[in-house]
Amino acid sequence: MVHFGNLKPKKGKIHIEKDMCKGCAFCVEYCPKDVLELSEEFNVKGYHPPVVIKEDDCLYCQLCETICPEFAIFVTLKEEEEEGEKGESRP
């Protein structure tokens, strides 16, 4: 991958509200880096929510967040959390 200027590739931290999920797998299917997988576990509604299997690969593209019809998954910028306000704003 080519990075322009001093833009570092972004890293995302994934938050999953397990009990809001209805297991449609949209997020799993459309994550460009296969960061997610449907788990074996059942949530309170009896669906399999996703789990993060490769968080380091997450690009912070937020595709999972936008595609989720249940508002059950969202991503925050990793640097933001680790380095405070220095992190870049959302794209």
Binding site for other proteins (CB under 8 A): 15, 17, 20, 22-26, 29-30, 45, 47, 63, 65-71, 73-74, 76
Regarding 51 and contact with ligand SF4 (CB under 6 A), the answer is no
Which entry of ligand SF4, other proteins, none binds 76, CB below 5 to 8 A by partner kind?
Answer: other proteins
| Nearer to other proteins (CB atom), residue 6 or residue 85 | 85
- 45 contacts: CB under 8 Å, gap ≥ 6: 19, 21, 22
Closest to 23 measured CA to CA, from 5, 1, 2, 39: 39
Regarding 14 and contact with ligand SF4 (CB under 6 A), the answer is yes
On the CB side of 60, how many CA atoms lie within 13 Å of its CA? 16
